Amino acid sequence: MSLSFRWIVANVTILIFATLTLSVSSAPQSNQKVFSSFRFGEHPDWEPLRHSSGISPYHDAPGADIEPPQGCSVTAAAFLIRHSSIYANDDEWEEYMQPFVERVKDAKGAFPEDGPLGFLNDWESPINEDNLEKLTKPGIKDAEKFGKRFRKLYPHLLPPKKLGKKKGILDNLKVKVPFKVWTASSERDIGTAKAFIRGAFPKYQEGHGGEGDGKYISLVEVPNKDPNWSASLTPHKVCDRFTKEEGRKDAREYLRNWGPGPLAKLQALAPSFEFELKDVIAIQMLCGYESVIKGIGKSKFCNARIFDAKDYHDYEYFHDLIYHKMVGYASDVAPYLGVHWLNTSTHNLLSADEGEGDHPHRPYSAASKKDPHLPAPPGLPNSTHTQKLFAYFTHREEPPMALVALGLWNQTEVGPLPLDTRQKDRVWRTSHVLPFLGHVAIERIRCDDKQNYIRAIVNGAAQTLDHCKDGPGNSCPIAQFKAFVNQRMSMYGDIEGACKIEQ
């Protein structure tokens, strides 16, 4: 049997599989089926987790539908993805939740049993010093689901499922370079990437628990603190001018302005407990973290009799302020830290139809455990051109900075974010990009007119670049996109200059 025939067989099998899947669900619901697993079921109109910024299980952004525009199909894609749900972030724990949890421990009986806070009389914190920053069980499941979603959406961009199957028809197919998935080197990133691999690939390709079998699939761990940005998926960790403090300061000031109202509500619910202003945030954070630890709908902190929709909208704004200065348009290093992923990914998407010809394999492209590094600069994570789908798992800071590099949701164009009141018309909305598994992606699509276009996706929702939207579904013609990225590189390419603190 010739090699090409085998590939055809594999692709036909996938096609048949895809057709079957489509025909059982009533058209055109194919993507809805894919998406439904990430919908919150219980409260269609209001759901605190939709307004909890980065402390929320994955959910698609409004308007999500990653069905390619009519007459087009996706031919390559690159995703920058935050890790899945963790027990708690240590800064958020220390500043907000822990002080509240400690006082609750010492005040059993202080909460009226028939009130919405009554459960606190015998509540035990599921978060402790030992599990901080660790992946939760539902978080691991979500990452697997996310992998399954990739398999459904992009079967033609992944190695065929039959590859490597014992006695399968593709058993002996020679694979020169494994399909790679990249991850930052923290446990929560690696665990997420492994779960993703288990979801997207069959058992006989996934290796022991998801690190890849090394032949067909390989997980590449990229050191978090590589001093060289060009070998990093976490450039904020090697940038001296990157700071989280400015945004936190703004958020604290906003809390002082907005918080007294919700604080008074808490005091009315349990007059004998000594609430502090920061408890307003602690309780809303615990709603999010308990939901990703125990499961959606399982946290009594989310009860609307404690805080209502407006309170969560204000809490959402609190987070938007933090991230706007940390990784958004009010950070002058953000576009520099996001643009290299964009440049590399654009390069990969542009080269997706060039084959391996111009891009000889580098020795480390096999990504052995011994040499997990990315290609040398200026490659960033650009890999060899042996694959068309690129998934990079990293930390919460990175996807929003890629968004800034793309110029999307530019709050500066709309106006400043005041600290005394919530800016309702803002475009900077971190709840739509920052949930666990939140992501920014670019897709290359090919359409009936035989032209190629690029579109940006944020949590399943296609985004429009105002200056480049002449393609189908407001996508950007590929040559224009390339010119745009080159222009962004000339503006923001100098990461070393931008990150240097003047002495």
Ligand X SMILES: *[C@@H]1O[C@H](CO)[C@@H](O)[C@H](O)[C@H]1NC(C)=O
State which of residues 198, 347, 429, 432 lies at the interface with ligand X (CB under 6 A): 347
**Does the footprint of ligand X cover residue 376 (CB under 6 A)?**
yes
Rounded to the nearest 10 degrees, the angle between the axes of helix 309-326 and helix 245-258 is 150
C-beta of 121 vs 228, nearer to ligand X = 228
State which of residues 52, 85, 230, 291 lies at the interface with ligand X (CB under 6 A): 230
Residues 79-138 contacting ligand X, CB under 6 A: none
**Does the footprint of ligand X cover residue 11 (CB under 6 A)?**
no
Contacts for 164-169 with beta carbons within 8 Å, 24 or more apart?
164/202, 164/204, 164/205, 164/213, 164/215, 164/216, 165/202, 165/204, 166/204, 169/1, 169/6, 169/9, 169/10
d(CA 187, CA 231): 19
Select the residue whose beta carbon is closest to ligand X and give its number. Answer: 378
CA atoms within 13 A on the CB side of 28: 6
d(CA 432, CA 60): 7
Q: Which two tokens stand for residue 376?
A: 């040398």
332-358: buried (b, 16+ CB within 10 Å) or exposed (e) per residue? ebbbbbbbbbbbbbbbbbbbbeeeeee
State which of residues 267, 410, 423, 480 lies at the interface with ligand X (CB under 6 A): 410
C-beta of 354 vs 448, nearer to ligand X = 354
Q: Closest approach of Cβ 328 to ligand X, in Å?
A: 9
d(CA 36, CA 357): 41
**Does the footprint of ligand X cover residue 335 (CB under 6 A)?**
yes
d(CA 307, CA 300): 11
State which of residues 125, 384, 387, 431 lies at the interface with ligand X (CB under 6 A): 384
Q: Closest approach of Cβ 334 to ligand X, in Å?
A: 7
**Does the footprint of ligand X cover residue 487 (CB under 6 A)?**
no
State which of residues 413, 448, 466, 470 lies at the interface with ligand X (CB under 6 A): 413
423 Ramachandran zone, left/alpha/beta (phi>0; psi -120 to 50): beta
Q: Closest approach of Cβ 418 to ligand X, in Å?
A: 18
DSSP string, 1-66: --HHHHHHHHHHHHHHHHHHHHHHSPTT-HHHHHHHTTS--S-SS--GGGG-TTSS---PPTT---
Q: Closest approach of Cβ 360 to ligand X, in Å?
A: 8
State which of residues 135, 322, 374, 404 lies at the interface with ligand X (CB under 6 A): 404
**Does the footprint of ligand X cover residue 378 (CB under 6 A)?**
yes
d(CA 253, CA 266): 20
Q: Closest approach of Cβ 350 to ligand X, in Å?
A: 7
Q: Closest approach of Cβ 347 to ligand X, in Å?
A: 3
**Does the footprint of ligand X cover residue 382 (CB under 6 A)?**
yes
Q: Exposed (0-12), middle (13-18) or buried (19+): which is 360, by Cβ within 10 Å? A: exposed
**Does the footprint of ligand X cover residue 412 (CB under 6 A)?**
yes
Cβ neighbors of 19 (< 8 A, separation 6 or more) are: none
C-beta of 307 vs 341, nearer to ligand X = 341
DSSP string, 180-234: EEEEESSHHHHHHHHHHHHHHS-HHHHTTTSS--SSSEEEEEEPTT-SSGGG-S-
Largest CA distance in the chain: 79
Please count the residues of this chain forming the interface with ligand X, following the rule CB under 6 A.
24
State which of residues 313, 359, 373, 426 lies at the interface with ligand X (CB under 6 A): 359
**Does the footprint of ligand X cover residue 379 (CB under 6 A)?**
yes
Task: Give the phi and the psi of residue 159 in degrees, each rounded to 5.
Answer: -60, 140
The 305-334 site mask, x for binding ligand X (CB under 6 A), equals ------------------------x-----
Q: Closest approach of Cβ 245 to ligand X, in Å?
A: 21
State which of residues 9, 22, 277, 489 lies at the interface with ligand X (CB under 6 A): 489
**Does the footprint of ligand X cover residue 343 (CB under 6 A)?**
yes
d(CA 472, CA 72): 8
State which of residues 191, 207, 210, 375 lies at the interface with ligand X (CB under 6 A): 375
Q: Which stretch binds ligand X (CB under 6 A): 122-130, 165-173, 402-410, 416-424?
A: 402-410
Q: Which stretch binds ligand X (CB under 6 A): 198-206, 222-230, 288-296, 471-479?
A: 222-230
Q: Which stretch binds ligand X (CB under 6 A): 192-200, 203-211, 264-272, 377-385?
A: 377-385
**Does the footprint of ligand X cover residue 414 (CB under 6 A)?**
no
Q: Closest approach of Cβ 423 to ligand X, in Å?
A: 16
Q: What is the sign of the dihedral through the CA atoms of 199, 205, 211 and 214? A: negative
First to last CA, the chain: 67
**Does the footprint of ligand X cover residue 386 (CB under 6 A)?**
no
d(CA 94, CA 357): 52
- What value does the CA radius of gyration of the chain take, rounded to a whole number of Å? 23
Q: Which residue has the tokens 């990914």?
A: 345
Residues 231-270 contacting ligand X, CB under 6 A: none
**Does the footprint of ligand X cover residue 214 (CB under 6 A)?**
no
C-beta of 386 vs 474, nearer to ligand X = 386
Task: Give the phi and the psi of residue 393 in degrees, each rounded to 5.
Answer: -100, 130
**Does the footprint of ligand X cover residue 427 (CB under 6 A)?**
no
**Does the footprint of ligand X cover residue 421 (CB under 6 A)?**
no
C-beta of 304 vs 376, nearer to ligand X = 376
**Residues of the shown chain interacting with ligand X in the complex, contacts defined by CB under 6 A:** 227-228, 230, 329, 335, 343, 347, 359, 362, 375-379, 382, 384-385, 404, 407, 410, 412-413, 489, 493
